[in-house]
């Protein structure tokens, strides 16, 4: 076991290695490890945030849905109401229209009846005149009795 220069050589090598490790090996590795630690921490934080955001979103969505449901119910109710109103209105309109039509038809019928009666009276009167003239052709002088006949016609017209 000779103690010799190897001792010094090893001492210098050792100090050099420690220096080299501190300068060139330790920092990149430790930094990379630290960076990853931060990444993981950030990732976990982000995941938590995401979870929270999801919870909030779910709550909001539920609220929106319930709101929409009430709104829909309201809309349906009002639509029903409106429908009923429309139907009622239509019914009223139809009834009044019917009455109007019936009334106008009655008027028309009355007018027809009146016209027919008028014509009938004219015909009856002319027939009466014809008949009377036929009977009185020989006895009545048309000129002498014209006034009488005219009164008769007038009377017929009036009745």
Interacting residues with another protein (CB under 8 A)? 1-11, 13-15, 17-18, 20-22, 24-26, 28-30, 32-33, 35-36, 39
Residue 115 to residue 12: CA distance in whole angstroms: 146
Residue 136 to residue 117: CA distance in whole angstroms: 27
Least Å distance, CB 15 to another protein, is 5
Residue 39 to residue 44: CA distance in whole angstroms: 9
End-to-end Cα separation, the chain, in angstroms:
171
Least Å distance, CB 12 to another protein, is 8
Residue 30 to residue 19: CA distance in whole angstroms: 16
Residue number, 12 or 131, with CB nearest to another protein: 12
Residue number, 10 or 96, with CB nearest to another protein: 10
Angle separating helix axes 26-136 and 142-158, nearest 10 degrees: 150
Residue number, 40 or 72, with CB nearest to another protein: 40
Residue number, 29 or 64, with CB nearest to another protein: 29
Least Å distance, CB 20 to another protein, is 6
């Amino acid at each position: 076991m000779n103690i010799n220069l190897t001792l010094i050589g090893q001492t210098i090598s050792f100090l050099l290695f420690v220096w080299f490790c501190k300068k060139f090996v330790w920092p990149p590795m430790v930094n990379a490890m630290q960076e990853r630690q931060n990444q993981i921490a950030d990732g976990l934080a982000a995941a938590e945030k995401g979870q929270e955001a999801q919870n909030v979103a779910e709550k909001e969505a539920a609220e929106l849905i319930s709101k929409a449901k009430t709104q829909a119910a309201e809309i349906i109710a009002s639509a029903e109401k409106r429908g009923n109103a429309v139907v009622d209105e239509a019914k009223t309109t139809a009834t009044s229209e019917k009455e109007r039509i019936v009334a106008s038809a009655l008027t028309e019928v009355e007018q027809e009846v009146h016209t027919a009666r008028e014509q009938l009276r004219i015909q009856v009167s002319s027939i009466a005149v014809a008949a009377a003239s036929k009977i009185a052709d020989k006895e009545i002088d048309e000129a002498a009795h014209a006034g009488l006949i005219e009164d008769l016609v007038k009377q017929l017209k009036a009745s």
